Copies of this chain bind each other. A is one copy, B any other.
């Protein structure tokens, strides 16, 4: 549990996070739920925010990561592209490699930590 958020990898494009933990989670949710709005609901994120993140991703890479189907307003659904699927796998692989690389150092930091459940000093 303690390790779950120890590493956050971001692919930056100037000041924009082109790809990172939030965008990876959104892609996964779109692939599971079939639309941007359903994905946003699943992540407790506003539709506006989810749409913005999709726009940032699609503008950052040479091919789109999310494709929206035509249909009525908000009615067409969305899916992630083959490129997005490849990126998700690569991102998970990269995160696992980084976690492995830092494991001994994390153990050092944790050995110095107050154990949860001990009284904190005021």
Contacts and interface: CB of A to CB of B under 8 A. Distances in A.
Q: How large is the interface on A (under 10, 10 to 19, 20 to 34, 35 or more residues)?
A: 35 or more
B9 A7 contact: yes
Interface stretch (A32-40, A41-49, A70-78, A98-106): A98-106
- A-side binding surface: helix, strand, loop or mixed? mixed
A12 B6 contact: yes
A10 B7 contact: yes
B6 A10 contact: yes
Given A10-B7, A13-B116, A19 B109 contact: yes
Interface of A: 1-14, 18-19, 58-63, 83, 87, 90-91, 93-94, 97-98, 100-102, 105-106, 108-110, 112-114, 116, 120-121
